Structure 1
Amino acid sequence: MQQTSADDSFAHLSRLSQKAGVQATLILSRETGAIVRSNGLVSRDESSNSESTLPASNGLTDDRTDGAMPSAEHVAEVVWKFAKAAVDMLQDLSNLPDDDVKLLRLRSKNKEYVIFPDAKFIAVAIHSTAPA
């Protein structure tokens, strides 16, 4: 598994965030799920800077009432659990000990979540999907 630096992850996500339709980006700690960087999502703590390091929330509650994007903490928690489950699934299915998840995509009617796990970070891009 290739070790990548935080700067590499930030640069990759920065390039991705310039694409049309990208609504938000996140970089999470792969080990803990803590938010390293967030752009385009609002934190539950409105006084905090969206570019700061924020811990992932403890509960799966989502405080949205208006159909808007979920909080950065909620997205971080759910994505981290999804990425961990994908790694567990791959380990169960693969007979190669060094096999690792490289890309996860989850597409709904309105949004697509593109998730890039690496050795230290999980990069996430959330973008709108084009109407079919």
Structure 2
Amino acid sequence: MALPSSTTSVSETMARLSSKSGVIATLAIERTTSTVLQHTGTLGAMFSSTTSSSLSASTNTVTSPAEREAPVVMTAEATEEQAFSDFAKMVWNYVNATGELVGNMDAEDELKLLRLRTKKHELVIVPDAKFLFVVVHDVPSA
């Protein structure tokens, strides 16, 4: 995969990746901060409601008792944005840990591609100096 060097190239890469069959979501993540630059698709099928609630709760900081007691009302769009943000942080941590493993095995080697397959989904992660590209596929039932 040719890796982009500009915002236009990121958009082009995302369009190309999201057009592949079986793709349910794509993400472009800023490499140094884990910020989601762009995403397509939906992650709703990946997370159970309890998982996404606990992820959101663990990443939100509550500072006052009033904030702890106030009901949190999120729209579906806000919930999906939070899911992408939480997912990006998990991917970012995974890539950094794996990169450290590779570096500890051989300091002259580097991480080029990660492929993670579960019963339901497959993630293909391509790290670059500036970006992480993530493609989420549905795994066909056997």
TM-score (norm 2): 0.66
Aligned match of 1:17: 18
Distance 1:93 1:106 in 2: 20
| CA displacement at 1:73 relative to structure 2 | 1.3
Aligned match of 2:5: 4
Distance 2:57 2:33 in 1: 12
Q: Spell out, residue by residue over 1:36-81, the C-alpha distance to the aligned partner (whole angstroms, 9 max, x if none).
A: 11112369xxxxxxxxxxxxx79369xxxxxxx8811121111000
Please tell me whether Structure 1 or Structure 2 has the larger radius of gyration of its CA atoms: 2
Q: Spell out, residue by residue over 1:19-41, the C-alpha distance to the aligned partner (whole angstroms, 9 max, x if none).
A: 11100011111001011111123
Aligned match of 1:40: 41
Aligned match of 1:111: 121
Distance 1:86 1:4 in 2: 24
TM-score (norm 1): 0.70
| CA displacement at 1:9 relative to structure 2 | 3.5
Seen in structure 2, the aligned counterparts of structure 1 residues 113 and 34 have a Cα distance that, compared at 3 Å, is same
> Is contact 2:4–2:10 with CA below 8 Å preserved after alignment?
no
Higher helix share: 2
Equivalent pairs: percent with the same residue?
34
Distance 1:8 1:102 in 2: 19
Q: Which amino acid aligns with 1:35?
A: V
- Stretches of structure 1 that go unaligned for 5 or more consecutive residues are 44-56, 62-68
After the TM superposition, which residues 31-70 of structure 1 pair with which residues of structure 2 at under 5 Å, given as runs? Answer: 31-41=32-42, 59=58
| CA displacement at 1:15 relative to structure 2 | 1.2
| CA displacement at 1:130 relative to structure 2 | 1.5
**1:19 aligned counterpart, secondary structure:** coil
Number of residue pairs aligned between Structure 1 and Structure 2: 109
Seen in structure 2, the aligned counterparts of structure 1 residues 34 and 3 have a Cα distance that, compared at 3 Å, is same
Distance 1:58 1:117 in 2: 28
Q: Spell out, residue by residue over 1:99-131, the C-alpha distance to the aligned partner (whole angstroms, 9 max, x if none).
A: 321111110011001101101000111110112
